[in-house]
């Protein structure tokens, strides 16, 4: 499984493979043409209430991951769609958050890596 992460504000690269935006909201200030997004999979993003609760507060990171993983387990269709693309080749999960260590894309990748795609 070749799964990568990249901020929406970084330039796309040929080795990104299939680029999937995993945010519920489109990244502010990024044009659709410049983003080179192949699929916008809003369904794998955290719920609005969870996103607002977390607020990118690193002190809430562990609990955020637990809550987000629970949401992901309740959403097998979206995870299945994501895994289908991962099985086909390189996939880059694109996200807009400034914090590159404490964001839902990092948690999503960890979820997929730990479940080997069978979450």
Q: How many residues does the chain have?
A: 119
pTM: 0.92
Per-residue model confidence (pLDDT) at position 53:
97
Per-residue model confidence (pLDDT) at position 116:
63
Residue 102 CA, chain-centre distance (Å), reads 12
Number of domains in the chain: 1
Per-residue model confidence (pLDDT) at position 114:
86
Per-residue model confidence (pLDDT) at position 24:
95
Pairing state of beta strands 3-7 and 91-95?
Answer: parallel
Cα separation, 32 vs 107, in Å, equals 25
Per-residue model confidence (pLDDT) at position 1:
58
> 48-83 burial string, b = 16+ CB within 10 Å, else e?
eeebeebeeeeeebeebbebbbeebeebeebbeebb
Cα separation, 92 vs 18, in Å, equals 6
Output DSSP code: residue 22. Answer: -
Q: Print pLDDT tens along the chain (119 aa).
A: 589 999 999 999 999 999 999 999 999 999 999 999 999 999 999 999 999 999 999 999 999 999 999 999 999 999 999 999 999 999 999 999 999 999 999 999 999 988 764 44
Per the structure, the complete domain to which residue 17 belongs is given by 3-115
For the chain, the maximum distance between any two Cα atoms, rounded to a whole number of angstroms, is: 36
Per-residue model confidence (pLDDT) at position 118:
44
Per-residue model confidence (pLDDT) at position 119:
40
Cα separation, 116 vs 63, in Å, equals 22
Output DSSP code: residue 10. Answer: S
Output DSSP code: residue 37. Answer: -
Residue 17 CA, chain-centre distance (Å), reads 15
């Amino acid at each position: 499984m070749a799964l990568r992460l990249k901020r929406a504000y970084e330039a796309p690269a040929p080795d990104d493979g299939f680029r999937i935006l995993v945010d519920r909201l489109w990244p502010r200030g990024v044009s659709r043409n410049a983003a080179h997004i192949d699929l916008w999979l809003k369904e794998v993003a955290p719920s609005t209430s969870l996103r607002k609760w977390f607020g990118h507060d690193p002190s809430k990171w562990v609990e955020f991951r637990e809550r987000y993983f629970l949401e992901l387990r309740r959403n097998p269709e979206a995870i299945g769609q994501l895994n289908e693309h991962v099985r086909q080749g390189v996939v880059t999960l694109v996200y807009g958050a400034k914090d590159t260590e404490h964001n839902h894309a990092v948690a999503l990748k960890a979820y997929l890596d730990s479940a080997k795609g069978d979450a």
